[in-house]
Each structure stands twice: as structure tokens, then as C-alpha cells.
């Protein structure tokens, strides 16, 4: 029986489009996207730092708070470390006043009473910075110990006069706003207050 060649007709074309092949992003495009993200993050960080530079009150607040803690923190086993820490953060004028008070009896009193004290910063209030000067009020809690036994003092208010010297904020004056009394209902820290310089011991 003869074999008949049957011609295969092509299948009719479909009106539905076939699947779209996935697009491959070029390495250059991916690098550009990553770079844009990185530069955006860097710009955000720099903007924050620039805002801090434009607002010196943040630096004044941090410096005043640290000084406030240092002023009421000492150990009778090494009172010289306390004096050095205070002087390091003071202008030449206030450093001279504090060293004089230390030599005239404050340092020896700390030793005689076997006094140790630790300050805990609670808050800092800062005035507007004007021509490299500002006032700060530092609020502290103080825990002390010595021959008279452990004592605690709450809400100690100290006013600091801050001056910018060669780009660094230093303390030029200290005033004890408790006026030698017991602050916040605590008890135990007394103050030897001169015209403006305050030094506290248990």
C-alpha cells in the first residue's frame, strides 16, 4: 500500500503574548543604586553633626554635666586626683581659686573625715550661648561616706559659668544654689561657700 506523504501544517499563531524574559540589571546600574544609598546615609549623618556644631549649647550641657559630677566626686585615698580633675576642666582663674581652697584645708578635710563621695547627674539647664559664654545649672544626687557614716543628698543645684577658651568649654565660676542648706530633703553634705566658689564635703 503506497505511503502518502502528509504535509504538517504549522500550528496557528496564538494571539496571547509569550512570557517576557527577565531583564537583567547591568552591574553599572546596581553600583549606582548602592552608591546613591550610601551617599544618602552619609549626608544624613553629616547633617546631624553639622546641626550639633551649629548649636553649641549641646556641648555646654555635656561639659557642665560632667563637671558637676566631678566636683562632688572624690576619694579620701586619692584627693589629688579629684583636684586634678577639677582643675583640668577649669579656666586659669577658677583653677587658681579651687587650688587655693584645696590647699587651705579642703584636701586635708577630705582625708581627716575619710570622706568619699559620688555624684549622679540628673539634669542640666543651659542658657543661650552668647559670645562664648553661658550659664548652666546642674542638678545632682550625691552619695557620700566617711567617719560620720553614709549620707545621701538629693537634688543639689549648682550654677556653673561656662566660657569657651580656644574651642574648649571650661568652668569659670561655681555657685552652690543650696546656700549651705540641705537640698531636696536629703541630708549630709555641708558646703563651705565663698563668694562664688563652692566646695562640698560630707
Output the nine-digit C-alpha cell for 140: 545632682
Name the pLDDT band for 55 (thresholds 50, 70, 90): confident
Name the pLDDT band for 13 (thresholds 50, 70, 90): low
Name the pLDDT band for 39 (thresholds 50, 70, 90): low
For the chain, give the percent of residues with pLDDT over 90.
59
Which residues are within 8 A (CB) of 109 and not within 5 positions of it... i.e. 6 or more apart?
A: 115, 201
**pLDDT greater than 60 at residue 156:** yes
Q: To the nearest whole number, what is the mean pLDDT of the chain?
A: 79
Once rounded to an integer, what is the mean pLDDT over residues 41-46?
Answer: 58
Higher pLDDT, 37 or 84: 84
Domains of the chain (ranges; CATH) run 54-201 (3.10.450.230)
CA nearest to 174, candidates 111, 110, 87, 114:
87
pTM of this structure = 0.66
**pLDDT greater than 60 at residue 161:** yes
Q: What are phi and psi of 68, to 5 degrees?
A: -55, -45
- In which residue are the cell numbers 547633617 written? 47
Name the pLDDT band for 188 (thresholds 50, 70, 90): very low
Report pLDDT for 178. 78
**pLDDT greater than 90 at residue 33:** no
Once rounded to an integer, what is the mean pLDDT over residues 80-84?
Answer: 96
**pLDDT greater than 50 at residue 199:** no
C-alpha to C-alpha distance for 67 and 55, rounded to whole angstroms: 20
Higher pLDDT, 182 or 67: 67
Cα angle 106-108-112, degrees, rounded to a multiple of 5: 120
pLDDT digits 0-9 by tens, 125-155: 999 999 999 999 999 999 999 998 999 999 9
Once rounded to an integer, what is the mean pLDDT over residues 165-177?
Answer: 96
Report pLDDT for 189. 35
Once rounded to an integer, what is the mean pLDDT over residues 30-38?
Answer: 60
User: Beta strand pairing status for 133-145 and 116-126?
Assistant: antiparallel
Amino acid at each position: 500500500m503506497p505511503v502518502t506523504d502528509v504535509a504538517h501544517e504549522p500550528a496557528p499563531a496564538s494571539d496571547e503574548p509569550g512570557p517576557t524574559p527577565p531583564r537583567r540589571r547591568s552591574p553599572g546600574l546596581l553600583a549606582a543604586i548602592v552608591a546613591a544609598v550610601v551617599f544618602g546615609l552619609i549626608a544624613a549623618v553629616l547633617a546631624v553633626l553639622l546641626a550639633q556644631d551649629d548649636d553649641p549649647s549641646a556641648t555646654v550641657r555635656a561639659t557642665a554635666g560632667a563637671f558637676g559630677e566631678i566636683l562632688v566626686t572624690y576619694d579620701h585615698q586619692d584627693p589629688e586626683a579629684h583636684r586634678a580633675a577639677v582643675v583640668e576642666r577649669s579656666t586659669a582663674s577658677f583653677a587658681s581659686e579651687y587650688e587655693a581652697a584645696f590647699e587651705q584645708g579642703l584636701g586635708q578635710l577630705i582625708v581627716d573625715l575619710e570622706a568619699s563621695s559620688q555624684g549622679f547627674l540628673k539634669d542640666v539647664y543651659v542658657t543661650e550661648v552668647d559670645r562664648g559664654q553661658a550659664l548652666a545649672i546642674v542638678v545632682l544626687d550625691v552619695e557620700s561616706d566617711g567617719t560620720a557614716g553614709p549620707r545621701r543628698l538629693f537634688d543639689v543645684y549648682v550654677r556653673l559659668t561656662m566660657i569657651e577658651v580656644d574651642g574648649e568649654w571650661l568652668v569659670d565660676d561655681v555657685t552652690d544654689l543650696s546656700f549651705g542648706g540641705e537640698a531636696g530633703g536629703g541630708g549630709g553634705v555641708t558646703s563651705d561657700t565663698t563668694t562664688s566658689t563652692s566646695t562640698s564635703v560630707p
